[in-house]
Amino acid sequence: MTSSKQTTGETTPGTTSRDTSAQAQAIDVVGVDRVFRRRRDEVVALQDVTVSVAPGEFVSLIGPSGCGKSTLLRLVADLDTPTSGSVTVFGKSARQARRDQDYGIAFQQAGLLPWRTVASNIELPLKLHGVGASERRARSCELLELVGLQDFGRHHPDQLSGGMQQRVAIARALAERPRLLLMDEPFGALDEITRERMQNELVRICRETSAAVLFVTHSIPEAVFLSDRVVVMSPRPGRIVEIVPAGGGMGTSHERTDEVRDAAEFFHTVATVREHLHGAPVVGARAVENR
């Protein structure tokens, strides 16, 4: 039934160069189900989900509300555990990867600690893991520059706009130089203009850090602009409909500039993702359902 699901190891134009080495995938999700049981109700949040992210690759999860895209990200982050199936991060279990701090994470809410300055918010994960004060200071200076907030280190979060707070949250996620970034609608609460600027900055940050990214969004252009591959999901039960490669004329996810937003290939990929989201050709068994 789910014949359209692509095999996970398939190389796409955007990832060819990075898949050559024999190292472990950044994320490997195999046959994962997640069922929420509440008294007698059962909600199948994810059904038979198989997907992987190569080191340095940018993969977006897209789908309507309730399709389980956030749940999938939370499984990778070990904020939740799968009912069945396996989730591995750099060849280890998700739990071990979390304990080893193999990923950085950013949520839709910036989630900064309001009583700490911007710099000490960025230093928080380093401080929790016993990094010395001078090294923390140096790293937060570096990161503030990376996200363009070098003059705001001593401010408190309440003195910053929403977009600036979100950049601080991204800097915090990058503090320990993770090889994997998990982002759950980090730009969801921002206006369109700030959002596009943040997307451009994220492309630059990924290029400079060469981290792999799993990115949850419900904006089709955002997913296509940022990603090497876009994973299209459908709700009830949450499953993968199609994995759309976003490369070709747009180049890899590290090569995106504002011109890509006007490229024919970009519009074509957006249309492809939209087709799969609205799901006409996918449901073979229910094709008779016409009014």
Partner 1 sequence: MSAAISTEVSAQDATQPQPRPPLLNGLRLSDLRLSAVLAPLAVGAAFLGGWQLAVDGLGIDPYIVPAPSAIWDQLVAARSNIVDGMVVTGRNALLGMLLGGLVGVLGAVVSSMVKVVDQMAVPIVAALSVVPIVALAPVLYTMFGAAVDTGRIVVAALAVSIPVYLNTLRGLRQVSAVHRELMWAYAATPTQVVRTVTLPTATPYVFTGLRIASSLAVISALIAEYFGGPVGGLGKAITSAASSSNYPLAWAYVTGSIVLGLAFYVVTLLVELWFARHAPRT
Residues that bind partner 1 (CB under 8 A): 36, 43, 45, 70-71, 73-74, 77-81, 98-99, 101, 103, 105, 107-109, 111, 113-115, 124-125, 128-129, 156-158, 184
- 127/197 with CB nearer partner 1: 127
Shortest CB 14 distance to partner 1, Å = 27
Shortest CB 290 distance to partner 1, Å = 33
Query: Any residues with CB less than 8 A from the CB of 18 and at least 6 apart, and which?
Result: 54, 55, 56, 57
Widest distance between CA atoms in the chain: 68
Shortest CB 181 distance to partner 1, Å = 12
- 68/245 with CB nearer partner 1: 68
Shortest CB 137 distance to partner 1, Å = 18
Q: What distance in Å separates the CA atoms of residue 166 and residue 172, rounded to the nearest whole number?
A: 10
- 60/272 with CB nearer partner 1: 60
DSSP 8-state symbol, 79: S
Shortest CB 109 distance to partner 1, Å = 5
Q: Copy the structure tokens of residue 131.
A: 């990094």
- 74/276 with CB nearer partner 1: 74
- 97/205 with CB nearer partner 1: 97
Q: What are phi and psi of 96, to 5 degrees?
A: -65, -40
Strand pairing class (84-89; 27-38): antiparallel
Dihedral Cα 186, 166, 228, 192, nearest 10 deg: 80
Q: Among 153, 91, 99, which residue's Cα sits nearest to residue 129?
A: 99
